[in-house]
Amino acid sequence: MPVPKKRHNKSRRDRRRANQKISAKKLQKCPKCGYLMLPHRACPKCGFYKGREVINVLKEKKKK
């Protein structure tokens, strides 16, 4: 296994690690109810996606 010949300094290491930060989730408002949700997913609050109901939320709540 290859081993580096010389030690890398701290600034070089830190410059490489500068882009490894965690970013916040990108949320958008549901057009139907205004609940914040992830894009390209059905709304967990009302069950709508692209203007039509894909999940019957009331039925799911009755199960639990």
Alpha helices in the chain (DSSP H): 10-17, 57-63
In Å, how far are 8, 22, 34, 44 from 17, measured between CA atoms?
13, 12, 37, 36
| Type of residue found at 13 | R
Of 25, 59, 24, 32, whose CA–CA distance to 43 is shortest? 32
Handedness of CA 53, 58, 63, 64 (dihedral sign): positive
| pLDDT confidence of residue 1 | 79
User: Would you say the pTM of this structure is higher than 0.85?
Assistant: no
pLDDT tens per residue, range 8-59:
999 999 999 999 999 999 999 999 899 999 999 999 988 899 888 888 877 7
Q: Residue 64's pLDDT band (boundaries 50, 70, 90)?
A: low
Residue located via tokens 């203007």: 51
